[in-house]
Structure 1
Amino acid sequence: MFRTALRNVLAHKARLLMTVLAVLLGVAFVSGTLVFTNTVSDAFQKSSAQGFDHVDVAIKPEQGDAGAQGGRPGAAPALTQELLDRSAKVDGAASATGTVSGFAALAGKDGELLGDGWSTRGANYFPGPDGKDDRYPMRDGRAPSGKGEIALDAKTAERAGFEVGDTVRMSIDGPVLTPKVTGIFTTDDGNVAAGGSLALFDTKTAQGLYAKPGEFSEIDVRAAAGTSQAALMSEIEKVLPKNGTAAATTGKELADEQAEAISTSMSGMRTGLLVFAGISLFVGIFIIANTFTMLVAQRTKELALMRAVGASRRQVTRSVLIEAFLVGTVAAVTGLAAGIGIGAGLRSLMGSFGGSVPDGPLVVSPATVITSLLVGVVVTMLAAWLPGRRAAKIPPVAAMNSVHAAASTKSLVVRNTIGALLSGAGVAAVLAGTTMGDDGKLPMGLGAALLLVGVFVLTPLLSRPVIAAAAPLLKVFGISGKLARQNAVRNPRRTAATASALMIGLTLITGMTVIAGSVQKSIDKMATDSLRADYVVSMANFGPLSPDVEQKLKDLDGVTATSPLRNSPSLVDGEREYLTGVDAKTIGQLAELDFRQGSWDALGGAKAVVDSDTAKRFGWKDGSRFPVTYEDGKKGTLQVAGVYQGNEMMRGIMLDKDRLAPHQSRITDMQVMVKTSDGATPAAKESIREALGDNPAVAVDDKKDISDGIAQMFTLMLNMLYGLLAMAVIVAVLGVINTLAMSVFERSQEIGMLRAIGLDRKGIKRMVRMESLVISLFGGVLGIGLGVFFGWAAGELIGSSIATYELVLPWGRMGLFLALAALVGILAALWPARRAARLNMLSAIKAE
């Protein structure tokens, strides 16, 4: 049986090529994803581990609970100079280094931000007894030693063209700084290796920028020769504060934690890419099943003869599975090789888009090899099992007389009943999920899967009425169009399997487009309805903004009102809540909220406004009083002066900034809202930018900018999804080509007869193209219909958290998707149509 299977594979090389390609693409996607993510993760982990070479024990502030911090809900207090000195003197310590760090936006010579925004950092240069900091060896120049000096990492300096002596423009929290570069250093910092930047200040300057004099964000202790990290750790723990506001960790633990964090961050990307690989393989299953169904159908007499001479049902099924195993193995091995190339290409592509990956080898792990081979072989054998089993059940006499071809009425009734039950259950689960809010995600996902499978099972039943609806259009093409329609419905199961491959891809694409467009419209409406301000000023990385920014804007000519939004942690009824400070006098001119009770007018002093969700959770209403523990641990009482409908831009407990300021350890703003006398004009925007020193780290956005920024995010996400789903569509195209090619082979005699009675080659080509077009449009219509339904259902869930959500149907894009489905059908038919037209009519008529 093995020799028979091998002979059949070699005899049908051309017919199995499309199957090999379908599996190959899916396996290449899987292996490429694993190679890429493993390579990037390994490079970052090794680079990160090098950054901990100078750390044996690290001391960091520990949040703990509010009680351990004397009832303070704010951040744990910074580490003191006293703790640094004590740590340096413990037994087994060679030295102790105090670190202060934070965000530092650095502008290139072209005025644009260097690094990738949030990965641009600043830190302190902490010289040892020899006057050098071993972490940052100077390649050129010297270390910074005053307020107007910095040192830059070598990679950033090379990328931006900075040299010792240059003056740079940078910003920590808004105001522009113009320090001089005194040195360029090398570093193993993984952040720099990933494309970020690192600027060093002297310790006193760094403390002024990121903390307070004498305070550190971390203390790194190096062990003396012969002292283990564990031994040093036990000594360090003896000098830690008794109130639990600091904790010690060994360098190895830090490196392991960092490696785990990197692996976790990569797992999200890996999972996302593997989902799309799974979709491609799922679509490929239809092609494989179709191919083996047709191959088995063409060999029924041969299989029947094998049964007649003694082969058992198991041996026939095994013969088909062996063929599938051989095809799957070839596809898996080829796909693995292609995937390794894809992984290498993705790493290079990441660099060309501005993302930087530390140097390192391409990682092809044994797990990647085994997974790829198993996926290719198992998927192919699973898809071929049903055709093989169906072939084995055909009685030898029936097969020899070819009475097996038509499916029995019973089998069709069973199939349609199962499909109807699955579809009904899927629709019911999806509809139930739309009424359950956040809890509806699981039933909706389950329902979507059931409905998709149910529609696939029902597709043969649906194909006849849907394709019949296209009959008037096909009449335009005369006899070719009529024959195309009849051929498309001649074998509903085959048509269904071919169309379903395209349907799945278009369902996902349409659903995502509907959701993205609807969310975008709701955000636009939210920005328009809730903002009276002309501009919103914030840091480009959404980090803290200096209160000096608001003061500069307030003093600017043409500015009529400003208000900051500043957050401060607190405890309310024992729960951790953030208080938002605003300017009570001007906020009403800058923000328009839907107040259910009260208004902005009563805001001030001990009176606050709260969003309706928070009020409902605590049982508050207009006039309610509630206790609050501020960031510094002091207690007070606030009164509800208004209840408003929150949204994604503004929500929570808001009170006057002057009430909040005395309790904040460091006053910073999230953003500043600005209203000008002339409204949002290019001149007003330019005036604000000039007042802030043309700072690239500060974003000045009007309502359109906010909407465009959100739109850009959705557009980028959709483009990535379109690119990934294109793989499934390519596999679907292969399925259409495969089906048509084998259909032409099956109908060779019929095509020869058509040629003999007068249908010319153009007519034959047109017939095959029309058949392909009808099948593709059938899949397109089903996919777009399901996509709209799923998009609506998901929107019902989203609408429960976004009040301004409304369904938007992208008619233009849906028309484009349908046109693409038609194009897929036309392109897929080119080769089969040409092959059909070139058949020799006499040879075809004589063919069995």
Structure 2
Amino acid sequence: MYRTALRNVLAHKGRLLMTALAVMLGTAFVAGTMIFSDTFGSALKNSYSRSYSDLSVLVSDNGAQSDAVAADKAGADAPRLTATTVGQLAALPGVQQVRGIAQGFTAVADKHGKSLGQGQDSWGANYVPNGAGQDSRYPMAAGRGPQKSGEIALDRQSADKAGYHVGDTVRVATNGPAANATLTGIFTTDDPGVSAGAPLVLFDTATAQRLLVSPGQFTDLAVTAAPGTSQDTLLGEVTRVLPHATGQGDHGGIIAKTADRLQADQRDRIASSMSGMRTMLLAFAGISLFVGIFIIANTFTMLIAQRTKELALLRAIGASRKQVTRSVLVEALLIGALSSVAGLVAGLGIGAGMQVLVGALDNGHSPSGPLVVAPATVLTALLTGVLVTVLSALLPARRAARIAPIAAMSSGDQPATPKGLLVRNSIGAALTAVGLVLILWGSGAGSDGKWIVAGGAVPALLGTFILIPLLSRPLIAAVGPLLNRLFGISGKLARENALRNPRRTAATASALTIGLTLVSALTVLGASVGGWLDRTVTTSLKADYSVSMSNGLALSPEVAAQVAKVPGVAASSPLNDGDLRLAGQDRQVTGVDPAQIDQVLNLTMNSGSSAALAQGRLLVDADTAKKEGLVVGSTVATTFQDGGSTNLVVGGVYANNAMINPVTVDNAVLRAHGEATSVNQILVKGANGAGASLQQALVSAAGDNPIIQVQSRQELRDQFSSTISFALNMLYGLLAMSVLVAILGVVNTMAMSVFERKREIGMLRAVGLGRGGVKRMVQLESVVIALLGAVLGLALGCFLAWAVNGTLKNSITGLTTVVPYAKLLLFLALAGLVGLVAAIWPSRRAAKLDILDSIKAA
């Protein structure tokens, strides 16, 4: 029997090619994902480990964030690292050197005024020269280090990128107006951030402290141990000297950690971040393998149907059911093993390609290294491919063993029994009903219902797949008249062929259904969120422009003051985010300018008035008021971040507004308790509306800071839309693998169907159907099957997206389901095109069959 299985594999190698490709693609995706994540993670670990090579203990002050940079102000009694602290540490017996570090966000512009960095990955720090005027951490490649205010040094990578040379004037900024500085030096460094493409600007120590922290204050102290002193011993000495220090801790105040602990923490953070990406990629690889299951099972079902007489003869000469089952499973094992090995090899290429792609997207700044192929990767890829193939072939193998020898010898077509169809349809209906009930329940359960919806989606999908043979008949029959009218006899034959074996049609359509379900669900979700964002910007804002930092940090209050003075500005209000404890509950609060808020925000008051803000009262949104039982005049016990407490009165209740938090107060209330010292966003209303001259004036008022963005309402909408489009395109790209596998399934089904109907095609040719008619018949059958899978997938996807939107309504007020009919019709058309393309080879093969040879085929 084992020799028979091997001969069958060799005899049907052409027919099994598509199955092998499906397994290979799935395992290649799994292997490539694991290889890429292991390689990228290893490169990151190696890169970041260099940043702690020149210190033994690092002392950090979590409170040492500049009021000009941080959104939250540290309390007045927060611990500080100063020159005095440096002297105390330097006097310890186990200390060889102490370096005071003052660092923080610093934007640097190129010669066109654009930021060299992206987001928060642009930093400034202090240059610490020794007696010879050199800083060993930042050796100069050209020029010298900065010595006074108005001088800077820039890393060589950024200088080369911007075309800067020693002596050039460079614009730098934190979160306020930019300033010109003279470039006195260009340095090299092994800092991993710089290696990854983040610009690094060096100031003299006094300037760095003034701009990035506070005068005389350091953010970190790098302590180097004296020879013979271990890191742990040094940590103990340092911790005893520092006030309120926490050795190896990670909570507020001053934290001291050894270099070994810092490297371990860095590795853990990298592993954690890579874990999320790996999980996402493996999830899409799993989808591809799941699609492959349908193809593999369909292939073996068709192969067994074509070999029923052969299997019956084996049974007749003494082969047992177990032997027949084992022979089919051995075939699957051989195919799975060979395909998995090929997939593992292809995975090396995918892993290397992903590394190159990430490097290209990041302009070559991402760390790289040799490919890492861990034993776990090899084992996972091989086991995955083999198990998926064998499990997919198990049911067809058992079905083959149940065929009675006499029945099989008499006919190659063994239709399903009425009892079998009843059981199948009953199971499918039960699963679908359970899934639909769970989905409907979860959609109305708020944010807690997302897992219920996910749990219901699985049985609903499985039930639908089981019911596809039943559903296919009315759906395909509905397009029958159209096929007859447009394509004549070829269309009629295509419809009959698609209906002849509904199980095979269902298995092929199911592969496309999975892909289209996910694609359409993502599309509807994206359109729904995009529509909500568009309505939010349109209905919530009266302002013409928004001024903010593109990296998410806070603006300097100086910018808000300058913006308000710009000619043509009718009203402007800084928005500040903060945290309060109201009636025992932590709440996010927005600080506003009471005199201007009604001109820049569209606040719909359900009760009370926004004028109450000027009286020091609270405004709350409708959801918060309902949940807490608040009405106008309610008194709420309030605790601020600095520990101060008071009773605030509710002055109004407004309809939920996505531009502000559920609680709104006057900025003066926050400033009185150490908050609102920096601005999250400035909303600006023009006296004559929006205009290019006003926008440029606002840019100038912000000090031409390359990281400050001035956006109109349309630009805000475009930014939201581009973010959603980017996320959708990335997910579409990841789903492309499963769609490709589904296409292989259509090709495989049509090719094997042609072989199975060889005699029938010969008879059709003999009675007058031309080669063109045969090609159209096969192509139309493929298109019908593809469209069947697409229609079911689109319907399921839209339903699931509607349910998910229901779980988001509590957190996204006003979210409604938007169905982008144009895109869904495009997907339907593309599915039809996929069916047409997939049938090119099988249809050409069918048309080339010799009439006499086909009629003589057994």
**TM-score of the two chains, using structure 1 as the length reference:** 0.96
Asked if 2 retains the 8 angstrom alpha-carbon contact of 1:611 and 1:653, the reply is: yes
- Per the alignment, in what secondary structure is the counterpart of residue 180 of structure 1? strand
- Matching of residues 209-224 of structure 1 within 5 Å: 209-224=211-226
- Measured against aligned partners, the alpha-carbon deviations of 1:282-304 in whole angstroms (never above 9, x if no partner) come to 11111111111111111122222
- Measured against aligned partners, the alpha-carbon deviations of 1:660-714 in whole angstroms (never above 9, x if no partner) come to 2243278210011111111112232122223334433111111111111000001
Asked if 2 retains the 8 angstrom alpha-carbon contact of 1:678 and 1:684, the reply is: no
Aligned twin of 1:700: 710
Aligned twin of 1:276: 284
- Per the alignment, in what secondary structure is the counterpart of residue 214 of structure 1? coil
Asked if 2 retains the 8 angstrom alpha-carbon contact of 1:647 and 1:802, the reply is: no
Asked if 1 retains the 8 angstrom alpha-carbon contact of 2:532 and 2:814, the reply is: yes
- Measured against aligned partners, the alpha-carbon deviations of 1:1-36 in whole angstroms (never above 9, x if no partner) come to 222211111111111111111111111111111122
Aligned twin of 1:407: 416
Q: Which of 92-101 and 280-289 deviates more?
A: 92-101
Q: Please point out which of 281, 298, 305 is paired with 2:306.
A: 298
The runs of 4+ residues in structure 1 deviating greater than 6 Å are 71-75
1:407 Cα deviation (Å)?
0.8
Alpha-carbon separation, structure 2, partners of 1:412 and 1:83 = 82
Asked if 1 retains the 8 angstrom alpha-carbon contact of 2:520 and 2:824, the reply is: yes
- Which residue identity lines up with residue 309 of structure 1 in the other structure? I
Q: Which of 495-504 and 543-552 deviates more?
A: 543-552
- Which residue identity lines up with residue 378 of structure 1 in the other structure? L
Q: Which of 79-88 and 649-658 deviates more?
A: 79-88
Specify whether residues 410 and 556 from structure 1 end up closer, same or farther in structure 2 by C-alpha distance, changes over 3 A only: same
- Matching of residues 479-490 of structure 1 within 5 Å: 479-490=489-500
Is it true that 1:257 corresponds to 2:265 in the alignment?
yes
1:785 Cα deviation (Å)?
0.9
Asked if 2 retains the 8 angstrom alpha-carbon contact of 1:422 and 1:453, the reply is: yes
Is it true that 1:768 corresponds to 2:778 in the alignment?
yes
Specify whether residues 666 and 577 from structure 1 end up closer, same or farther in structure 2 by C-alpha distance, changes over 3 A only: same
1:617 Cα deviation (Å)?
5.3
Aligned twin of 1:58: 58
1:618 Cα deviation (Å)?
4.8
1:614 Cα deviation (Å)?
4.1
- Which residue identity lines up with residue 277 of structure 1 in the other structure? A
Asked if 2 retains the 8 angstrom alpha-carbon contact of 1:125 and 1:133, the reply is: yes
Is it true that 1:315 corresponds to 2:323 in the alignment?
yes
1:347 Cα deviation (Å)?
1.6
- Matched pairs, number: 842
- Per the alignment, in what secondary structure is the counterpart of residue 355 of structure 2? helix
- Per the alignment, in what secondary structure is the counterpart of residue 646 of structure 1? coil
Sequence identity (%): 51
Q: Please point out which of 231, 234, 255 is paired with 1:232.
A: 234
- Matching of residues 320-399 of structure 1 within 5 Å: 320-355=328-363, 356-399=365-408
Is it true that 1:643 corresponds to 2:616 in the alignment?
no
Alpha-carbon separation, structure 2, partners of 1:197 and 1:556 = 32
Specify whether residues 605 and 57 from structure 1 end up closer, same or farther in structure 2 by C-alpha distance, changes over 3 A only: farther
Aligned twin of 1:7: 7
- Per the alignment, in what secondary structure is the counterpart of residue 573 of structure 2? strand
- Per the alignment, in what secondary structure is the counterpart of residue 603 of structure 1? helix
Specify whether residues 775 and 578 from structure 1 end up closer, same or farther in structure 2 by C-alpha distance, changes over 3 A only: closer
- Which residue identity lines up with residue 10 of structure 2 in the other structure? L
Asked if 1 retains the 8 angstrom alpha-carbon contact of 2:580 and 2:638, the reply is: yes
Alpha-carbon separation, structure 2, partners of 1:496 and 1:579 = 54
Aligned twin of 2:483: 474
Aligned twin of 1:192: 194
- Per the alignment, in what secondary structure is the counterpart of residue 314 of structure 2? helix
Asked if 1 retains the 8 angstrom alpha-carbon contact of 2:590 and 2:660, the reply is: no
- Matching of residues 571-586 of structure 1 within 5 Å: 571-573=581-583, 576-586=586-596
Alpha-carbon separation, structure 2, partners of 1:402 and 1:441 = 50
- Which residue identity lines up with residue 370 of structure 1 in the other structure? L
1:576 Cα deviation (Å)?
4.5
Is it true that 1:723 corresponds to 2:725 in the alignment?
no
| RMSD, matched Cα | 2.1
Aligned twin of 2:144: 142
- Per the alignment, in what secondary structure is the counterpart of residue 643 of structure 1? strand
Aligned twin of 1:751: 761
- Which residue identity lines up with residue 207 of structure 1 in the other structure? Q
- Which residue identity lines up with residue 224 of structure 1 in the other structure? A
Specify whether residues 616 and 122 from structure 1 end up closer, same or farther in structure 2 by C-alpha distance, changes over 3 A only: farther
Alpha-carbon separation, structure 2, partners of 1:133 and 1:640 = 57
Specify whether residues 16 and 273 from structure 1 end up closer, same or farther in structure 2 by C-alpha distance, changes over 3 A only: same
Structure 2: runs of 5 or more not aligned: 65-72, 247-252
Structure 1: runs of 5 or more not aligned: 65-70
- Measured against aligned partners, the alpha-carbon deviations of 1:527-576 in whole angstroms (never above 9, x if no partner) come to 11111111110011121101111111111111111111123444445555
Alpha-carbon separation, structure 2, partners of 1:194 and 1:780 = 43
Q: Which of 617-626 and 784-793 deviates more?
A: 617-626
Asked if 2 retains the 8 angstrom alpha-carbon contact of 1:72 and 1:629, the reply is: no
1:130 Cα deviation (Å)?
5.5
Aligned twin of 2:685: 675
- Measured against aligned partners, the alpha-carbon deviations of 1:428-454 in whole angstroms (never above 9, x if no partner) come to 000000111011011100111111111
Asked if 2 retains the 8 angstrom alpha-carbon contact of 1:74 and 1:631, the reply is: no
Alpha-carbon separation, structure 2, partners of 1:267 and 1:427 = 32
- Per the alignment, in what secondary structure is the counterpart of residue 648 of structure 1? coil
Alpha-carbon separation, structure 2, partners of 1:77 and 1:516 = 46
1:135 Cα deviation (Å)?
2.4
- Matching of residues 473-622 of structure 1 within 5 Å: 473-476=482-485, 477-573=487-583, 576-616=586-626, 618-622=628-632
- Per the alignment, in what secondary structure is the counterpart of residue 447 of structure 2? helix
Asked if 2 retains the 8 angstrom alpha-carbon contact of 1:73 and 1:633, the reply is: no
Asked if 2 retains the 8 angstrom alpha-carbon contact of 1:308 and 1:396, the reply is: yes
Q: Which of 41-50 and 346-355 deviates more?
A: 346-355
Specify whether residues 76 and 715 from structure 1 end up closer, same or farther in structure 2 by C-alpha distance, changes over 3 A only: farther
- Which residue identity lines up with residue 319 of structure 2 in the other structure? A
Aligned twin of 2:249: none
Q: Please point out which of 417, 421, 438 is paired with 2:426.
A: 417
- Which residue identity lines up with residue 47 of structure 1 in the other structure? S
Asked if 2 retains the 8 angstrom alpha-carbon contact of 1:143 and 1:183, the reply is: yes
1:331 Cα deviation (Å)?
1.3
- Measured against aligned partners, the alpha-carbon deviations of 1:457-491 in whole angstroms (never above 9, x if no partner) come to 00000011000000111112111111111100100
Specify whether residues 504 and 745 from structure 1 end up closer, same or farther in structure 2 by C-alpha distance, changes over 3 A only: same
Aligned twin of 1:68: none
Is it true that 1:21 corresponds to 2:17 in the alignment?
no
Is it true that 1:429 corresponds to 2:449 in the alignment?
no
- Measured against aligned partners, the alpha-carbon deviations of 1:300-321 in whole angstroms (never above 9, x if no partner) come to 2222222223322222211111
Specify whether residues 339 and 742 from structure 1 end up closer, same or farther in structure 2 by C-alpha distance, changes over 3 A only: same
- Measured against aligned partners, the alpha-carbon deviations of 1:134-174 in whole angstroms (never above 9, x if no partner) come to 32222222211212111112221222222222211222103
Aligned twin of 1:158: 160
Q: Please point out which of 110, 126, 129 is paired with 1:127.
A: 129
- Per the alignment, in what secondary structure is the counterpart of residue 814 of structure 2? coil
**TM-score of the two chains, using structure 2 as the length reference:** 0.95
Aligned twin of 1:44: 44
- Per the alignment, in what secondary structure is the counterpart of residue 567 of structure 2? coil
Alpha-carbon separation, structure 2, partners of 1:504 and 1:745 = 27
Q: Which of 572-581 and 315-324 deviates more?
A: 572-581
Aligned twin of 1:625: 635
Asked if 2 retains the 8 angstrom alpha-carbon contact of 1:240 and 1:247, the reply is: no
1:74 Cα deviation (Å)?
9.5
Specify whether residues 568 and 213 from structure 1 end up closer, same or farther in structure 2 by C-alpha distance, changes over 3 A only: farther
